[in-house]
Structure 1
Amino acid sequence: MTTPSPTSGWSSFWNRGGWWRAVLVAVVYLALYLAGGQLVGALFGDQVDSEDLFATPQSVIFGLFLPLAIGAVVLIAFVASLHWFPALFARQPIGGRWWMWLAPVAVVAAIVLRLLGIDYASYAAGVVAITFVSGLLVGFVEEILTRGIAVKMLRDAGKSEWVVMVVSSLIFGLLHASNILSGQEIATVALTVVFAFGFGICMYLTLRATGNLTWPMLIHGLYDPTLFLATGGIDEVHSGPQSELLTLAGPSNMIFILIAIVGLIFVRGRVQRSQT
């Protein structure tokens, strides 16, 4: 007979799950991410172009990549301390429905249109490559936090999949409210939060449809850099002439919102509470 190994107080606390613990992780992560950004700014602020983040490779590295790398280290350390990596990247405990494939298909379609329509020649050498690497880091960080950690905590607390979808997407949306600290107008930030909530639901549906966290990470990690390069900024709307392909990709946010509404209507089910 084997004796189960004792669980530390740290692990016991987080293994209970619950929405407020998921929110707590997100708040602490955001605080550390912003603090890391401030530290990078204090040390390398002269390397970042405040008018155009994507003006030079150095600007992208110190203005986007490095703060994300700090956030990634924080989340990796947290997940590793709880031994959650196998659980987060295992096959999803609940299957998807055929209509859930609408989400990844719509997002991938927008990615392809932007990949083909971006004016790569308008960027300095190295900017595009570093932006894509940074984008993949965005996908890893934001998905492991919201569709990984938050989803697991909500399921461990016995929440229905509808609640899991909504709360994890709300957390994802509210993370983008921090844009107000960069000086964006309240109306712009509010609209960004709404669109992020819709996109979050699409990524939850992608998680369900594909059955593995890796796919939302990859799709999200490709969506963001193509959007950055298509608009020339983060959470900005492109102004001026653009290619027909980018014009076709323009309504994607509204399509994501419509798919999110479908998700809000039809998502059902519940995962048996985890005993780990």
Structure 2
Amino acid sequence: MTRTSAEKTGFWDRAATWKALLLVVVYLVFYLAVGRLIGMVFDSEIDGDNVVGSAASIFFALVLPIAIGAVALLLFAIKVGWLRAIFGPQPIGGRRWMWIAPLLVLAAIVAHVAGTDWDAWNGQEIVALAFLGLCVGLAEELATRGLTVKILRDAGHSERYVAVVSSLMFALMHTVNLIAGMSLRTVLATVVYTFAFGMCMYLTMRVTGTIWAAIVLHGLTDPTTILTTGGLDEAVVSQGGGATVAAALVTVVLIAFGFLAIFLVRGKVGDPEATRATTA
């Protein structure tokens, strides 16, 4: 007998926090496996000493693995029937104070663009980094602010719980950099930053009413950070050098605001206030 669609997706319909964690872990394992395979096949194209040293290295080492990961996440969302819920309007409104989050992220992006030594990059490298930003924004936001947030909301949790846990999962995703040989100090700094950044992306999604705003801002953050500092997560501990002072200051404020927001987030999907428009 052929199973119905509901029977096929029943496991994911019964939401729980551990299932959100399971999804993130499976995605990370898949992403790392794909990256390892691509690295073996296209080893000659990847600059092991400076992964962003050429357009080919950027594409094969960074873009292609995350692009395949994004496609896998999209296929999963389609299979379980969550695509419309994730990319459609948010089921709970935001508050005006939440606009601070996207404004801080945008300010950091502008500061990074202003602080970039454009002569240090060629056109192909810039295009490759732009494509990387698109893929990273889609994959990581879909995994955390999309799939993870939906599972946590479906499990009946408050929005504070949803914001904190989804941001924590986003931050812990970056601990895999230890496997790549990144120093523990840098990874710990990255976890702190990415948690706060995750909170800002959650708030962006809430206040704009759509995950697309978070995808766009996230997609602009990574390539502009790399262009300014010459590295991705290393930028968290190196902005006092290559990046502008303004970008470093905005990053500090963003981190502080991200942690402060833990105590400010209110609401729960399903409450009477959930359908209200953005208010003070």
Normalised TM-score (structure 1): 0.93
Question: Distance in 2 between the 1:16 and 1:219 partners?
Answer: 31
Offset at 1:209?
0.8
Offset at 1:240?
8.2
Offset at 1:6?
4.6
Structure 2 counterpart SS, 1:126: helix
Question: Distance in 2 between the 1:191 and 1:178 partners?
Answer: 13
Give the alignment partner of residue 55 of structure 2, picking from 46, 54, 57: 57
Unaligned runs of 5+ in 1: none
Label 1:196 to 1:242 Cα distance change in 2 as closer, same or farther (>3 A). Answer: closer
Give the alignment partner of residue 204 of structure 2, picking from 189, 206, 211: 206
Residue 260 of structure 1 aligns with an amino acid whose one-letter code is G
Offset at 1:206?
0.5
Structure 1 counterpart SS, 2:42: helix
Residue in 2 that maps onto 1:77: 75
Aligned 8 A contact 2:239 2:248 in 1: no
Label 1:52 to 1:83 Cα distance change in 2 as closer, same or farther (>3 A). Answer: same
Q: Which moved more, 1:119-128 or 1:218-227?
A: 119-128
Structure 1 counterpart SS, 2:57: helix
Give the alignment partner of residue 11 of structure 1, picking from 9, 31, 37: 9
Residue 200 of structure 1 aligns with an amino acid whose one-letter code is G
Question: Residues 20-31 of structure 1: matches in 2 within 5 Å?
Answer: 20-31=18-29
Residue 161 of structure 1 aligns with an amino acid whose one-letter code is E
Identity %: 43
Offset at 1:26?
0.3
Unaligned runs of 5+ in 2: 272-280
Aligned 8 A contact 2:240 2:248 in 1: no
Which structure 1 residue ranges, 4+ long, deviate > 6 Å from structure 2? none
Structure 1 counterpart SS, 2:123: coil
Question: CA RMSD, aligned part only?
Answer: 1.7
Residue 98 of structure 1 aligns with an amino acid whose one-letter code is R
Is 1:224–2:184 an aligned residue pair? no
Residue 8 of structure 1 aligns with an amino acid whose one-letter code is A
Give the alignment partner of residue 265 of structure 1, picking from 248, 263, 277: 263
Question: How many residues get paired?
Answer: 267
Normalised TM-score (structure 2): 0.91
Residue in 1 that maps onto 2:38: 40
